[in-house]
Structure 1
């Protein structure tokens, strides 16, 4: 852990699972303070919208010991919370759809000076462990629907 280093992680965090916990733990280890931005439901366009409300997802993330601050993202401008937080590092999840170079270029264009890093992957510990919200929902449907 680096003293005085602020890290931002972001994501949907729907149906919190061990993959999310690994990502946020990895991000927290990159600095001394971890801020998490939880995507607003209406801004999730790259996949199925979340099942849980913005508040519920934020509250679940905030309850994790590795998270210092959690907030819901801005409704119109993803850079508003980044400007507010002024991070040293933005940590991407190992499988998030964002490209490091594109994020770095967008940050530079916004005048935000920070490093972009990608968290390490986490493999399931056994064949029954699910590390994807989609797979969790599929399993629920298989077993309960």
Structure 2
């Protein structure tokens, strides 16, 4: 599960790594109603789902349930659940939650994608947001075309 508000190379790395751990990659895009650990997404749920689904590595993407996290996971019945390297969930807690739902599934954590030396990449939504805000702050008010 992920928010995927700004799709970036870090997400692609995570999803490619997750796909390598199983036969199919099913992605649950977080329902905006359930996100409480960071600001709500800007991009609507269905649009974020469609962007993730458009990636060749993804077999199926769905929006999470607005009240019960277990519903899409039960529907998928995964063999492995892969967390992003920076997701706030603890692997042991997720494994215990899956066990309580009677889902026999191992929990893995994807690695972080390291930036390339020859091409400085923006590998997180916050880095992209920070860069946008920096550039907008540097814009001169009243400049033609603004």
Is TM-score (shorter-chain normalized) higher than 0.5?
A: yes
- Structure 1: tracts of 5 or more residues without a match: 1-9
Partner of 2:132: 140
Could you state the TM-score of these two structures normalised by the residue count of structure 2?
Answer: 0.89
From the CA coordinates, give the structure whose radius of gyration is larger: 2
Partner of 1:30: 21
Matched, 1:50 2:41: yes
Aligned residue runs from structure 1 range 90-129, under 5 A:
90-126=81-117, 128-129=120-121
CA distance in 2, matches of 1:15, 1:117: 23
State how many pairs are aligned. Answer: 136
- Structure 2: tracts of 5 or more residues without a match: 138-146
Backbone CA RMSD of aligned residues: 1.1
Runs of 4+ in 1 over 4 A off after TM superposition: none
Deviations 1:52-94 (A, max 9, x none): 1101110110000000000000011000011111110000111
CA distance in 1, matches of 2:108, 2:22: 12
Q: Which has the higher strand share?
A: 1
